[in-house]
């Protein structure tokens, strides 16, 4: 079955950097959306960044644009979120997710299309 495993969370000071990784196993195809989401305590989950595996098209939430970078290593089926210039408001549980392959790149911004989820990794910025 499809598995997503995140790693790399931790603590950082404001202005610092952290990198997250997400390994996706048992899920290959010609192209699908992968997203990084985050949820802070008492708040709704929000989409932070997306990438379409075929071509590498990316998108970012306004709150992280210019600070976060999503990327992929297709050979390893691993996806990354590099977070720079961190702010306390970036504190949250971060999740990676993969969308159903029936949906193309135009659907990467539709949160409901994400079918597979990792267990999350905590990021704390102080």
Model pLDDT, residue 30: 79
The H or E element spanning position 123 is: strand 121-125
Model pLDDT, residue 28: 79
Model pLDDT, residue 29: 77
Model pLDDT, residue 103: 86
Q: In angstroms, rounded to a whole number, what is the distance separating the alpha carbons of residues 89 and 92?
A: 8
Dump the DSSP string for 18-84.
Answer: EEEEEEEES---S--EEEEEEE-TTS--EEEEEEETTT--EEE-TTTTTTEEEEEETTTTEEEEEE-
Tokens of 65: 């644009």
Stretches where the chain sits below pLDDT 50 are none
Model pLDDT, residue 101: 86
């Amino acid at each position: 079955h499809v598995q997503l495993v995140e790693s790399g969370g931790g603590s950082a000071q404001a202005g610092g950097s952290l990198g997250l990784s997400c390994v996706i196993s048992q899920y290959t195809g010609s192209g699908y959306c992968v997203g990084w989401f985050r949820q802070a305590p008492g708040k709704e989950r929000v989409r932070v960044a997306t990438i379409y595996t075929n071509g590498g098209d990316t998108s970012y939430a306004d709150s992280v644009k210019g600070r976060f970078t999503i990327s992929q290593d297709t050979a390893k089926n691993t996806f990354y979120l590099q977070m720079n210039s961190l702010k306390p408001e970036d504190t949250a549980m971060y999740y990676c997710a993969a969308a159903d392959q029936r949906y193309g790149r135009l659907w990467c911004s539709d949160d409901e299309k994400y079918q597979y989820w990792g267990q999350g990794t905590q990021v704390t910025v102080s």
